[in-house]
Chain A
Amino acid sequence: MLLRWARSRARHTRALARLYSGLGTGSSGYKECDVVIVGGGPAGLAFASALAANKALDGSVKVTLVEGGDLDKVRDWEMPPDAFSNRVVSLTNASQDFLDEIGAWVHLDAERTCPIEDMQVWDGISDARIDFSAAALGLGRGKGSSQMARLTETLNLQRGLLQHLSGQSNITLLDSTKVENIFSDDIPGGGWPVVQLSNGNVLRARLLVGADGINSPVRSYSKIDSYGWDYNTRAIVATLLHPPRIFPAFLPTGPIAFLPLSDTASSLVWSTTPALAAVLTKADPAILAGMINAAFRLPERSVRFLHRRLLEQPSLSPEDLRTEIAFREQAHTIAPHSAYASATINPEDASVGIPPHGAEALPPLVASIQPGTIASFPLRLRHAEEYIGSRTVLIGDAAHIVHPLAGQGLNLGLGDAAALARCVSTALALGGDIGSRTALTPYARERYFENHKVMSAVDKLHKLYASTAPPVVWARSTGLEVLNELDTIKAGIVGAAGGQSSARAGAGLFWDTVASGVETLVGGARVAEAVGSGLQSVAGGILQQLARAAAGPENDRR
């Protein structure tokens, strides 16, 4: 009797196993998928695109992308040529090469992209600056013009990727669909992730890709912690309109980045205290415009005074602000028609005739702000402790959140997508199981340190430039000025970064440049200090102060 029971049970188990093993929906109601991507942001879409574009896979990999939002809004996104969305990304050359390789670049609206050929890294306090010119430093791509990066709107990129995906048969896009739950299957020998969707589908994934942002459900399912901190800072973004002028990108090492989108429009990223951000985003747009113009032109002391004034009286009218700025200009003996005057000049007039002396060192005067584009978001740093879980992998913001200087986070995300796609194709070519840790390790090995390097460089830049302590300002300004004169070193920095092949599609030329720039900057400051100590014996004291001030912002994170 017992024997018969055992035998029938064995038969039952075998029948079950056969049911499970059939492709498609098993008896458990799971739908079998090779790759499930959660999140339809740029990183998720780019990864799906890269898989779709890989001819070597010849459709043998079934990919499902799940997105909570409505992707039709992105697909049908349209804007007049002279208006721009406020979320802008500067795509590094490496990111562009990747998009080009997978065939997505042609789907981007080229009219809505703008190359960055010249760039100024500029100290908001001491006015020290360093110029990078792509042409002079021999940067850029073989085809087309030389450029350091290309600015475009995030929506333009997403729309392009969606268009690229629309013709692919092995990619299923499920938008307006939320992930309700992720759990492990209970199939013997399995333990694969199962994703329960709001539309009733239940997907069993060989590989679950978390491209689902800072509060990634995939990361929580994988039990991967992330570490990091919040900067006590918010970034204000807006689209600025100004009289036509061609000008270099002003890099956000100081508080404000001013990035050209076209001759008449620019993108703003202004990192500032949460209190000031709250006032500026709620106030009359003319106030923000006035403050931006003043920030580039008035000495730092006065700019700080204006900030305090606005915090004390958030209801300040644009006229009052204009009077205030005009008064400060007078106090600093800035002539009413010089390049450094903003309150007494109508921006429209400034573009007529010969520009005053020194105008090329400044971004154009902001005339107005495109309505509805002012927004702000908190600055944070997060890095997952691992990228790989049990049949799960993290890419993009789910893996790392970086101080959003010129949209580097997105470039890192695209780098992740490229590396993961490469890793998956290699594993497939060797018959590997793409969900296994062994198959995914090359991805983590390629990206983790690479991302960490860029995040760390950006973090140090933020801390270096967040300080207003005189020794720090002196050291960084001296370093910057010294560096700017040494063309060979400058070319060396960029040259070393330019030597890397685009196939690596790493963190990108530009940020490697900045990363090594920071290192050199520190070296430059040291040289300057050595010179200083020869002349004055107080250099030792300065060094001590410097060390103390440098330790100051470091302590913030704890």
Chain B
Amino acid sequence: MNALLAALVGLLFAAGTWLLLGQRILRQVIGLGLISHGANLMVLLAGGLGGRHAPLLANPTPRADPLPQALILTAIVIGFGITAFLLALGYRMHALEEDEP
């Protein structure tokens, strides 16, 4: 499972980097999105995966680590806001292109 997720993180970074190096704004925005999701998955991996119980005192050990999920949630929200900003900026560049001959 760990190896599979690690490979997925690598794939996301590779695809994101490839898109980011392209010429078109929309592809670059999607590329940045993929890269930041790669990092999110990496945070999840950092907490350890699989075969754990829910993190409640009543449950037997080993218990899952809830912190990475809280961290990822924050990172996702930030990423979402920035993607929205980038799309707005991209649209603005497009609109200005039409205004200014």
* Mutual binders A and B: no
Where the two chains meet, the residues of A that have a C-beta atom closer than 8 Å to any C-beta of B are none
Where the two chains meet, the residues of B that have a C-beta atom closer than 8 Å to any C-beta of A are none
